[in-house]
Amino acid sequence: MQPLYQEGSSPSEPEWFARLDEVVKYLASSRPTAVNLFWALDRMQRLANTLRGARTPEQMYQEMLAEAKLIHEEDRRQCRDIGRYGAELLQSGQGVLTHCNAGGLATADYGTALAVFFAASEAGKEIHVFADETRPLLQGARLTAWELNQRSIPVTLICDSMAPLVMRQGKVQAVVVGADRIAANGDTANKIGTYGVALAARSHGIPFYVAAPSSTFDLTLDSGDRIPIEERDPREITHGFGTQTGPEGIDVYNPAFDVTPAEMIEAFITEKGILRPVDRETIARHLEAKTSIG
* Of the candidate residues 242, 288, 290, 291, the single one contacting a copy of itself (CB under 8 A): 242
CA 111 from centroid of its chain's CA atoms:
8
* Of the candidate residues 70, 123, 159, 293, the single one contacting a copy of itself (CB under 8 A): 159
Look up residue 177 and give its DSSP letter: E
* Segment near a copy of itself (CB under 8 A); pick from 84-92, 106-114, 248-256, 273-281: 248-256
Q: Is 78 exposed, middle or buried (0-12, 13-18, 19+ CB in 10 A)?
A: buried
Whether residue 180 lies in the annotated active site: yes
For the CB of residue 259, give the shortest distance to a copy of itself in the complex, in Å. Answer: 8
C-alpha closest to that of 111 among 75, 138, 139:
75
C-alpha closest to that of 77 among 107, 100, 50:
107
Please tell me which residue in 180, 187, 218, 258 is annotated as part of the active site.
180
* Residue 12 binds a copy of itself (CB under 8 A): no
Neighbouring C-beta atoms of residue 290, cutoff 10 Å? 5
* Residue 155 binds a copy of itself (CB under 8 A): yes
* Segment near a copy of itself (CB under 8 A); pick from 24-32, 33-41, 105-113, 254-262: 254-262
φ/ψ of residue 194, rounded to 5: -60, -40
For the CB of residue 96, give the shortest distance to a copy of itself in the complex, in Å. Answer: 15
Of 14 and 247, the one with the shorter C-beta distance to a copy of itself is 247
* Residue 141 binds a copy of itself (CB under 8 A): yes
**Residue at 7: amino acid letter:** E
Local structure of 210: helix, strand or coil:
strand
Cα distance from N-terminal residue to C-terminal residue, the chain: 45
- Which residues are part of the catalytic machinery? 180
Positions in the binding site for a copy of itself (CB under 8 A): 130, 132-136, 138, 141-142, 145-146, 149, 154-166, 168, 192-193, 195-196, 199-200, 202-203, 237-238, 240-243, 245-247, 250-255, 258
